[in-house]
Structure 1
């Protein structure tokens, strides 16, 4: 079976804006399409972003607030 070795491109991601409970905004967060169930899957994207935040917090030693809302960025 052949392996797909191509690199991910910009179209392989869906972008989301995230607002945290403390009012902080994180714009254009990339979520791989392979990690969610379609481009409109905000619940799956929220889980991926929270996992990314935990990983970043672990490496930086600075915890991130809880996600309040998540919204898909519309393409131009």
Structure 2
């Protein structure tokens, strides 16, 4: 899984359209029907987290709902 390379059934890593490229905290994702992968865009060769589609939807819902805020 190289920088910007294919990683799941023809999928490519992508960042949110809200990412401004200013060195902020960004997550990249790649997905197919069976798997969603997530990584830190600042460390593309680093660890990758894998989620099933249902677990990913639950995780995104928790993020959007503020349930994971540390402040």
Shorter-normalised TM range = under 0.3
For normalisation by structure 2, the TM-score amounts to 0.26
| Greater share of residues in helix | 1
| Greater share of residues in strand | 1
For normalisation by structure 1, the TM-score amounts to 0.25
